[in-house]
Amino acid sequence: MTTAAIVDTRPRTLAEKVWDKHLVAKGENGTPDLIYIDLHLVHEVTSPQAFDGLRLAGRPVRRPDLTIATEDHNTPTLAIDRPIADLTSRTQIETLRKNCAEFGVRLHSLGDIEQGIVHVVGPQLGLTQPGITVVCGDSHTSTHGAFGAMALGIGTSEVEHVMATQTLPLKPFKTMAITVDGTLRPGVTAKDIILAVIAKIGTGGGQGYVLEYRGSAIRALSMEGRMTICNMSIEAGARAGMVAPDATTYAYLKGRAHAPAGDDWDAAVEYWDTLATDDGATFDAEVILDANTLEPFVTWGTNPGQGVSLSDTVPNPAEIDDANERSAAERALEYMDLAAGTAMKDIHVDTVFLGSCTNSRVEDLRAAAEIIKGKSIADGVRMLVVPGSARVRIEAEAEGLDKIFTDFGAEWRFAGCSMCLGMNPDQLAPGERCASTSNRNFEGRQGKGGRTHLVSPLVAAATAIRGTLSSPWDLVQDGIVPAGLVPASL
């Protein structure tokens, strides 16, 4: 390896700029680059063996001041003051607590205001910032790319590597531009953009790439919307997703606990302003999507690429040319118990899940609450609302959202991953069908035999009212809500 010295004036992409800035040593003859890591997020599931490895080798956590931990995957969302019933879950959490105490890592435990899903906690503390490198032993680390950070999910051996060295040996990625121009129609959201992108490029389409989301429709999105999009980059197989920082990013960050302040803020903004992809920089691949024509999008199958517009029908596998995709579609329809040609809007659900690192921020909850306010849940449907963090829960309660949800007939829970993956008791029963704002509709993901349709928070809300997969516009048509109430974008 040679010492990093980047004196390159060629136009560069956002991803390349962040990479170059973090080069500790450049790899030679096929060896990887050594990349510095600014922020390491830790949770209970993927960290125990990493801490154990440090202990065995007698190594400390090199930079506890760049490391932060929270409890999320295993935490209960009811009765959080009682001991966790499941022994494996309890052991994982207790192990994290012991390890953080031993190695001097800051931990936000169950009951703490900053406890919550690791990808909600980083941004809300202002730790996730433009131009930094972020890693976490979790694939949805890509969420943090919404700030113009290079955010990578890593495995347990790499977690240990970062703990010990604050660096990672990495080979450079290819870059893909995803340009979404136009204006979203009311009721269409960031979630619909990303579901449409994945349906377009496929679950493997992003493999080996860092995706950069660009274009006027992306610029118009809030930080929450950008996080939703970057979050699901991994579902397209990408290593990371990014959005260049702008005034929206700065407004979100300013005043947060760990955001720079005073002169530091000015210095930071000056740097952040240099991050956007240069004119004339080239991407290895490009994808274009028209926001003007986009409709609410939902999945019918068992991977996030198996989706259609909500006004569409369940596709007929016989019409799929690619043999692998055809048989995957056949298997998916069997698992989902769906017949080709069924209108998506005729599909009844048993459960609605509003939560997960994709859609559990206060903005998501607010948008859903606006739709369901003063109405009641469809007969036989249960709805779980799980805020992404304890702070989100408190903020939502301060606005009275909890009351709106409980009056409607939904359950208002404590923060965590919950039914996104059902490591805690929040699971689907076999055969149960769910409209879920999470990011994975894999077989059994939300509980053995459970059937998942991925949807936006607005579709989740409308579905809870009608009992069938629905958009807010269906409510307008039914005369349930006035057209003016359909949120402009999210």
Which residue numbers belong to the known binding site for [4Fe-4S] cluster?
Answer: 357, 417, 420
Q: Which of the choices ligand SF4, other proteins, none does residue 420 contact, using the CB cut-off of 5 to 8 A by kind?
A: ligand SF4
Of the pair 121, 184, the CB lying nearest other proteins is at 121
Binding residues: 357, 417, 420
Determine, following the binding rule CB under 6 A, whether residue 117 of this chain makes contact with ligand SF4: yes
Of the pair 33, 235, the CB lying nearest ligand SF4 is at 235
Considering only the stretches 194-202, 307-315, 394-402, 467-475, report the one whose residues sit in contact with other proteins under the rule CB under 8 A.
394-402
**Token representation of residue 97:** 């607590």
Strand stretches in 369-462, DSSP E: 382-385, 411-412, 433-436, 451-454
Crossing angle, helix 401-408 and helix 390-398, to 10 degrees?
90
* Structural contact between residues 43 and 70, judged by C-beta atoms closer than 8 angstroms: yes
| Three-class DSSP labels, 86-100 | CHHHHHHHHHHHHHH
In whole angstroms, give the CA distance from residue 190 to residue 170.
30
Determine, following the binding rule CB under 6 A, whether residue 421 of this chain makes contact with ligand SF4: yes
Considering only the stretches 294-302, 415-423, 465-473, 476-484, report the one whose residues sit in contact with ligand SF4 under the rule CB under 6 A.
415-423
Using the 8-state DSSP alphabet, how is residue 70 labeled? Answer: E
Q: Which of the choices ligand SF4, other proteins, none does residue 95 contact, using the CB cut-off of 5 to 8 A by kind?
A: other proteins
Of the pair 234, 281, the CB lying nearest ligand SF4 is at 234
According to CB under 8 A, which one of 5, 57, 247, 318 is a site residue for other proteins? 57
Q: Which of the choices other proteins, ligand SF4, none does residue 260 contact, using the CB cut-off of 5 to 8 A by kind?
A: other proteins
Residues 257-316 that bind other proteins (CB under 8 A): 257-260, 264-265, 267-268, 271
Determine, following the binding rule CB under 6 A, whether residue 390 of this chain makes contact with ligand SF4: no
How far apart, in Å, are the Cα atoms of 119 and each of 147, 172, 258, 332? Answer: 12, 24, 15, 29
In whole angstroms, give the CA distance from residue 83 to residue 86.
9
Considering only the stretches 156-164, 213-221, 352-360, 476-484, report the one whose residues sit in contact with other proteins under the rule CB under 8 A.
156-164
In whole angstroms, give the CA distance from residue 90 to residue 393.
23
Q: Which of the choices ligand SF4, other proteins, none does residue 24 contact, using the CB cut-off of 5 to 8 A by kind?
A: other proteins
In whole angstroms, give the CA distance from residue 140 to residue 434.
21
- How many residues belong to the site for other proteins (CB under 8 A)? 55
Taken in order 311, 315, 316, 320, is the CA torsion positive or negative? Answer: positive
In whole angstroms, give the CA distance from residue 108 to residue 126.
15
Of the pair 153, 315, the CB lying nearest ligand SF4 is at 153
Crossing angle, helix 457-466 and helix 362-372, to 10 degrees?
30
Determine, following the binding rule CB under 8 A, whether residue 34 of this chain makes contact with other proteins: yes
In whole angstroms, give the CA distance from residue 205 to residue 163.
31
How far apart, in Å, are the Cα atoms of 380 and each of 408, 428, 464? Answer: 13, 14, 10
Query: Minimal distance in Å, beta carbon 435 to other proteins?
Result: 31
φ/ψ of 268, rounded to 5, equals: -65, -45
In whole angstroms, give the CA distance from residue 118 to residue 43.
7
**Token representation of residue 480:** 């349930």
Determine, following the binding rule CB under 8 A, whether residue 391 of this chain makes contact with other proteins: yes
Determine, following the binding rule CB under 8 A, whether residue 398 of this chain makes contact with other proteins: yes
Residues 6+ apart with CB under 8 A from 333: 300, 301, 314, 317, 339, 340
In whole angstroms, give the CA distance from residue 410 to residue 381.
9
Determine, following the binding rule CB under 8 A, whether residue 1 of this chain makes contact with other proteins: yes
Determine, following the binding rule CB under 8 A, whether residue 323 of this chain makes contact with other proteins: no
Of the pair 54, 357, the CB lying nearest ligand SF4 is at 357
Site string for other proteins, 62-101 (x = CB under 8 A): --xxxxx-------------------x--xx--x------
Determine, following the binding rule CB under 6 A, whether residue 108 of this chain makes contact with ligand SF4: no
Closest CA to 239 of 289, 205, 284, 199: 205
Site string for ligand SF4, 155-194 (x = CB under 6 A): ----------------------------------------
Strand stretches in 258-406, DSSP E: 285-290, 297-299, 307-309, 351-354, 382-385
Interface ranges with ligand SF4 (CB under 6 A): 72-73, 117, 119, 138, 140, 356-357, 417, 420-421, 438-439
Binding site for other proteins (CB under 8 A): 1, 3-4, 24-25, 34, 36, 38-39, 48-49, 52-53, 56-57, 59, 64-68, 88, 91-92, 95, 106, 126-129, 132, 156-157, 160-161, 164-167, 169, 255-260, 264-265, 267-268, 271, 391, 394-395, 398
